[in-house]
Every structure is written in structure tokens, then in C-alpha cells.
Amino acid sequence: MDLAYTDQQKAFREEIRAWLAANVPAEPLQTFDTEEGFKQHRAWEAKLNEGRWGMVTWPEELGGRGCDLIEWLVFEEEYYKARAPLRVNQNGIFLLGPTLMEYGTDEQKARILPKMATGEEVWAQGWSEPNAGSDMAAIRSTARLEGDKYIINGQKTWSTRAVWADWCFGMFRTDPDSERHRGLTFILVPLDSPGITVRPIPQLDGLPGFAEIFFDNVEVAVQNRLGDEGAGWSVAMATAGFERGLMLRSPARFQETAKRLVQLYVENRESADRDPSVRDAVIRSYLDAESYCLTTYQTACRLNKGGKIGAESSTNKIFWSELDQNMHGTAMSILGARAELLPHAPDAVGVGTWLDGWLFAQSGPIYAGTNEVQRNIIAERMLGMPR
């Protein structure tokens, strides 16, 4: 055990820090849940890519830096410290990208990855359907093979950033007689295909952060199938595995929130301490964010040395999503009567982005597999309790 960064890791940190200092926009971008904000974030992805900072974990020949997990954590730390824009194409870069590298054909990789890297093509995920939420194997949308095309019909929903995204990936039932996990195929669909209707769904903040996607005899070239026909479930599990694993929410994000929470508490200490539970909640939040960081580093080091990550990764999603809720809830308590004010309200002094964060924190225990489903997985697969 040696809990110090190597000179190489330190140099890497300096390099990304310097680049971000020179390039992160002085004014925060508009949220990518607006048309203008989406464009701004797309442009930021292009800029990141120019500096070869877009996909640091991708191999060098694909425009990445071949970073290992520790370097990725360092990158994320600097990225969040610099308050750089959120990643509009995270579905592509962190989920589909690695899945394509594993399951894609050379033609698919060459066609898809470069445009993903530049932000020219932004990706949405299409798993959920009105009747297939937690029970993803209940998917009903169909894809029928005709010659060299699939004809897709059905409906996806809750698809994040689908309003302005260019493509979506997801699972469709290719075998009409199949049930549950069998007979599903992983297909990539251009969202400008004829027969597609995207209907925006306003989220808690009123902005269309996700959308329904209707498919009416949509034709998709068979080259857009990822993996074998009928093998969709195992390809999707690889994608969900990445998602549940380390890449979705790096510790840096929560550590920066914890830091801001400590600062908010210190600045408002007198009023905050009228509720004695607030101080305790701040201390707990800070420690949990640190625990999340330490545990992630320990896991990353284990994986770097050839270790494997198993069902225990389901603890990850629960830990960070509850932490995020606790932190923002505590901030709301500290802000008191100001907490409910929208940031542009004239008397909303010093409210920062806490309200926005509080709203978004409500979704953490729901998306990427609800926390109840994660608890089932932990109990059955990690602890071995009976089904």
C-alpha cells in the first residue's frame, strides 16, 4: 500500500489542471435541457476533444489517452474542481463507447466512435418503456428483420437528453414469440429516421430533460445492430454493468458538493445551529463523501491489478444517491426560508444551485436501476439470500 500519487500521476494532474484553467468558460453554460444550452455543451465536447481530454480512458488510437482508473479519478477531480460543464454525451462516452469497443464490429467502431468523441453525435438511451421500468425484460417494442433492415415499432420513454440527441441505443424484441430476457436485440437508431416522434417530457424543474420516443415502422440498417440478434440482454448487461460500476458518478462530484455544504454551513453557522441535527448531517455528509472517494480508489487499485468487480458494485449506486439526497437536503435546511426560492428570484441571496441540485437528487435513487432493485441484487447476489 502506498497512498501517494506517483510523479507521473502528479504531472498528469498538473497538465489537465492547466488546460482546464485556460479553457473552462468563465460563465457557466446554460443547462443542456434547453436547446441553446445543448448546443453550448456540444461545442464544449468538441473543445475537450481537441485537447484530447474528452475520453481519457479510451485508447490512444481512438483519440483517448489510455488512462487507467486512477488517472481517470484524478481527471475527474480536476474537472469538478474547475467546475467544468457537465458531459452532455456521457451516455455515449461512458456507456455505449466501452460497449462498442467490446461488442462492436470494426466498421461500427470506425463509423460511430469518432463522431461520438467530437460531440457531433450525442446519444440517448432507450431502455425503459411504459410497461418496462424496473422490469426491463418486459420490453415490448419490436424490431422485425426485413432484408438488410429492421422495421421498428413501439415506444420508449424517460430517455434522457433525447429531445436534442442524434441517436439512441436500446433493446427491441426481434423474436415475437420470445419472452423475458430472450429474443431481445441491441440496436442503434438515428433519431432523425422517418417514423420517429420524440415527445419531450418536462421534469421536476419544468425543463424537457427526458422524452418519449415513438417508433412507427422505422427502418434501421442491420449494420446498426450491436452484437448478435437475440443477444441484446447480455450486451445490455455489459452496458448497465459499466453504468453501475465506477464511471457513472465519480467521487469528485460528491466531494465538491460536500465541500460547498461545509462552506454553506460555516457561513450560516449561527442560524444553522438552531437545529442541532444540521451540524451532524454536515459532518456525516462530509465523511460519506470521503468514504466514497476512499472506497472508489481502493476498488480502482484492485481493478488495476487485475481484480474483478462483482455484485458488490450495486452498493455504489445506493451509497452515492443517498449521499446526494442527504447533502442537498441538509443544504435546504441551512438555507431555511430562502431554500424554496428559484435562483433568479430577487431576494434569493446566496442560494447558489442548491435547489436545482435538490430536485435532481430526487432522481438518483430512481434512475440506473432503482435502489430497491439494487438492494434485491445485493441481498441475492452479494449476500446469497434466497430468491
Ligand X SMILES: Cc1cc2nc3c(=O)[nH]c(=O)nc-3n(C[C@H](O)[C@H](O)[C@H](O)COP(=O)(O)OP(=O)(O)OC[C@H]3O[C@@H](n4cnc5c(N)ncnc54)[C@H](O)[C@@H]3O)c2cc1C
Residues that bind ligand X (CB under 6 A): 125-128, 133-134, 158-160, 210, 363, 366-367, 370, 372-373, 376
Q: Which residues contact 346 (CB under 8 A, 6 or more apart)?
A: none
Written as one letter, the residue type at 33 is D
Nearer to ligand X, 127 or 242 (CB): 127
Least separation in angstroms between CB 157 and ligand X: 7
Least separation in angstroms between CB 184 and another protein: 26
Q: Tell me which of ligand X, another protein, none is bound by residue 353, counting a contact when its beta carbon lies within the kind-specific cut-off of 5 to 8 angstroms.
A: none
Q: Answer yes or no: are the C-beta atoms of 71 and 10 closer than 8 Å.
A: no
Least separation in angstroms between CB 196 and ligand X: 15
DSSP class of residue 87 equals: -
Q: Answer yes or no: are the C-beta atoms of 182 and 194 closer than 8 Å.
A: no
Nearer to ligand X, 40 or 363 (CB): 363
Least separation in angstroms between CB 4 and another protein: 7
**CA pair distance 135, 321, nearest whole angstrom:** 20
Indicate if 14 belongs to the active site. no
Least separation in angstroms between CB 87 and ligand X: 14
Q: How far, CA to CA in Å, does 281 sit from each of 40, 260, 288, 357?
A: 36, 14, 10, 17
Q: Which residues contact 33 (CB under 8 A, 6 or more apart)?
A: 161, 163, 203, 205, 207, 208, 209
Q: Tell me which of ligand X, another protein, none is bound by residue 86, counting a contact when its beta carbon lies within the kind-specific cut-off of 5 to 8 angstroms.
A: none
**CA pair distance 374, 387, nearest whole angstrom:** 14
Q: Tell me which of ligand X, another protein, none is bound by residue 366, counting a contact when its beta carbon lies within the kind-specific cut-off of 5 to 8 angstroms.
A: ligand X
Q: Answer yes or no: are the C-beta atoms of 275 and 333 closer than 8 Å.
A: yes
Q: Which residues contact 353 (CB under 8 A, 6 or more apart)?
A: 343
DSSP letters along 329-353, please? HHHHHHHGGGTTS-TTSTT-TT-TT
Q: Tell me which of another protein, ligand X, none is bound by residue 280, counting a contact when its beta carbon lies within the kind-specific cut-off of 5 to 8 angstroms.
A: another protein
359 Cα distance to chain centroid: 16
Q: Tell me which of ligand X, another protein, none is bound by residue 158, counting a contact when its beta carbon lies within the kind-specific cut-off of 5 to 8 angstroms.
A: ligand X
Least separation in angstroms between CB 286 and ligand X: 26
Q: Tell me which of another protein, ligand X, none is bound by residue 58, counting a contact when its beta carbon lies within the kind-specific cut-off of 5 to 8 angstroms.
A: none
Residues that bind another protein (CB under 8 A): 1-6, 9, 13, 70, 74, 76-78, 80-81, 251-253, 255-256, 258-259, 262, 265-266, 279-280, 283, 286-288, 290-295, 297-298, 300-302, 305, 312, 315, 318-319, 372, 374-376, 378-380, 382-387
Nearer to another protein, 131 or 291 (CB): 291
Nearer to another protein, 83 or 199 (CB): 83
Q: Quick count: other Cβ atoms within 10 Å of Cβ 375?
A: 13
Nearer to ligand X, 160 or 326 (CB): 160
Catalytic entry in 77, 179, 243, 372: 243
Nearer to another protein, 199 or 381 (CB): 381
**CA pair distance 283, 279, nearest whole angstrom:** 6
Residues carrying an active site annotation: 243
